[in-house]
Amino acid sequence: MSICEHMKEARDLQPSQHVCEECIKTGDRWVHLRMCLTCGHVGCCDSSKNTHATKHFHASHHAVVRSIEPGETWGWCYVDELTYDLSHGVKHAQPMD
């Protein structure tokens, strides 16, 4: 299986924060956090009430996120609905089954 075009545009970024700023502004809580691999935006996951990471994708068309939960090394392409192993960084991403 090959890498999708969106993953080729992703960058190795580090989160500037480990909170969902949008949830903090509204006083809401989140379940898990995802980081955009295009711009570094951190938002809450789809299991969270507000789904800010997905809303960021729809607004920005930045297709690839990664989990920033401790011990998790996976990424996701919203457009191609592919999960990636990012344990060796974005440049060495491998599709997962």
Other C-beta atoms closer than 10 Å to the C-beta of 58 total: 10
**Residue 97 within any structural domain of the chain:** no
Q: What is the pLDDT of residues 66-77, one digit of tens each?
A: 999 999 999 999
* pLDDT for the residue 1: 64
Count of structural domains within the chain: 1
**Residue 12 within any structural domain of the chain:** yes
Mean pLDDT of the chain: 95
**Residue 51 within any structural domain of the chain:** yes
List the CATH number of the domain containing 75.
Answer: 3.30.40.10
* pLDDT for the residue 9: 86
* pLDDT for the residue 3: 83
User: What is the number of alpha carbons within 13 Å of residue 46 lying toward its C-beta?
Assistant: 6
**Residue 95 within any structural domain of the chain:** no
Listed in sequence order, the residues at least 6 apart from 52 whose beta carbon sits closer than 8 Å to its beta carbon are 20, 22, 23, 30, 43, 44
* pLDDT for the residue 11: 95
